[in-house]
Amino acid sequence: MAISKTLIMSRNNISKDDIVYNIKNRYRLPSSYIETIYDNIFLIIKNGLKKKGKFKISKFGTFKVIFKKARLGMNPNSKVKYTISERKVVVFSPSKIVKNKLNGK
């Protein structure tokens, strides 16, 4: 998937609409078709995380569910302390290939 350089350089994040727009312009496919593929990719990832707690995309990286214990937090503006409940979070570890590309290797 090729995303335009101006899109990446103009913001730190991209939306589903940005991805659909860029693929549509590059490959001239219908938006509804691209959205279906997009939705299915993320459904596969979510189901993999729910089922096994880990999802690896070869040559890209691994998504993993980790458990965080409850802890004490504080609102920096009001200084009010509160308990942050225990929860599951998803972390991402890039593959060596992605790390090397980021480091210009």
> Is the predicted pLDDT of residue 10 greater than 80, yes or no?
no
Can you say whether the dihedral through the CA atoms of 28, 32, 36, 38 is positive or negative? positive
- Looking at the chain, the domain(s) classified CATH 4.10.520.10 span 53-105
> Is the predicted pLDDT of residue 25 greater than 80, yes or no?
yes
Q: What is the pLDDT of residue 1?
A: 45
pTM over 0.75: no
Mean pLDDT value across the chain: 90
Helix axes 31-52, 16-27, angle to 10 degrees: 130
> Is the predicted pLDDT of residue 68 greater than 70, yes or no?
yes
Taking domain 53-105, whether its CATH number is 4.10.520.10 is answered by yes
